[in-house]
Amino acid sequence: MNQTLIQEILEVVEQAAIASAKLTGLGQKDEADAAAVEAMRLRMGKIEMKGKIVIGEGERDEAPMLYIGEEVGSGNGPGVDFAVDPCEGTNLCANNQRGSMAVLAASDTGGLFNAPDFYMNKLAAPPAAKGKVDIRNSATENLKILSDCLGLSIDELTVVVMDRTRHKDLIKEIRGCGAKVQPISDGDVQAAIACGFAGTGTHCLMGIGAAPEGVISAAAMRALGGHFQGQLVYDPAIAQTSEWADYTKEGNIKRLNEMGITDIDKIYEANELASGENVVFAGSGITDGLLFDGVKFERDCVRTSSLVISTLDSTARFTNTVHIKDGAKSISL
């Protein structure tokens, strides 16, 4: 990893965000996803690197673009592994709701956990609580620890949880402690990263989302020094999408074993999910969000707002880019 590469990685997420943003609010989630994938792939292709997608948009046969195992870049230069979610929050984008973004994580070859497309139980918390809260604890215990670490009373804590029936008991427990629950329809990557920054109003993410998104969140949180843990969920009785209606617990365990994951209940720390010497997170807003704004289309330019978090120089860079159109006559500040 080097700074030139990181600059290009920023452009990758910017281009994906712009492509998706053209379809914001049109109710076309798959089209918005496909547009982001295509833009990401096109820009990645121009980078001098031996790049590889380790988490992408499906297996080779199902997704023609950015499939797991796809090689990206010129084929010369540094080896880079990518976990990509070109349109994280496709529903949010389709419905023009807050929090949709183009995201990826990058690391040296072998530096990202090749998470299968399973669910993952997640716990994210601010740097002050890193290694103090633990996903093995009950929510009640973690809220007490969080309260101590942050110097806030429990009723001053906000916990983001995905608004799903699988979290009914969890939400009840958190509210029972007096903490504030913020249910979200989608977008637990944004919520996880928001825990890494003070002042976002998000103190913790609890509950089950998708595993690929977990690895991207872990990369960002490792670079920020925040807390992130994840545990794969393979029991359909706990979490199951309609597309996987036929999958059984035994079948899922078999799939994990075939992927070389034998310790199926392992709890992964951020630095195991994103273990490379250097890791980089890059995200660019499609719609406005908590961390950055979405794409703004103007007569003479397009504006993007993004965030790059990198272990290389220990920075979280918030950038606004003005993409100037040919023949532009007037660009406001």
- Contact residues: ligand VTB, CB under 6 A: 88-89, 164, 186-189, 209-210, 213, 241
Q: What is the dihedral of CA 18, 22, 26, 28, to 10 degrees?
A: -60
Nearer of residues 97 and 311 to ligand VTB, judged by Cβ? 97
Cα–Cα distance for residue pair 81/53, rounded to 1 Å = 6
The piece of 20-28, 85-93, 101-109, 140-148 that touches Mg ion (CB under 5 A) is 85-93
Is 60 one of the annotated binding-site residues?
A: no
Answer yes or no: are the C-beta atoms of 153 and 147 closer than 8 Å.
yes
Cα–Cα distance for residue pair 112/177, rounded to 1 Å = 36
Please pick, from the candidates 11, 81, 85, 288, the single residue that binds Mg ion as defined by CB under 5 A.
Answer: 85
State in angstroms the smallest separation of the CB of 30 from Mg ion: 10
Is 304 one of the annotated binding-site residues?
A: no
Please, which residues bridge with residue 162 across strands?
Answer: 184
State in angstroms the smallest separation of the CB of 169 from ligand VTB: 16
State in angstroms the smallest separation of the CB of 3 from ligand VTB: 29
Nearer of residues 58 and 78 to ligand VTB, judged by Cβ? 58
Answer yes or no: are the C-beta atoms of 85 and 112 closer than 8 Å.
no
Is 169 one of the annotated binding-site residues?
A: no
Is 300 one of the annotated binding-site residues?
A: no
Please pick, from the candidates 88, 188, 269, 288, the single residue that binds Mg ion as defined by CB under 5 A.
Answer: 88
Residues 200-239 that bind Mg ion (CB under 5 A): none
Cα–Cα distance for residue pair 76/304, rounded to 1 Å = 29
Query: Token pair for residue 99?
Result: 């929090």
**Measuring CA to CA, which residue among 272, 273, 253, 271 is closest to residue 263?**
253
Residue 189 touches which of Mg ion, ligand VTB, none (Cβ within 5-8 Å per kind) = ligand VTB
Interface with Mg ion, residue 81, by CB under 5 A = no
Nearer of residues 56 and 126 to Mg ion, judged by Cβ? 56
Answer yes or no: are the C-beta atoms of 59 and 35 closer than 8 Å.
no
Residue nearest to Mg ion (CB): 88
State in angstroms the smallest separation of the CB of 148 from ligand VTB: 28
Is 188 one of the annotated binding-site residues?
A: yes
Q: Applying CB under 5 A, which residues contact Mg ion?
A: 85, 88
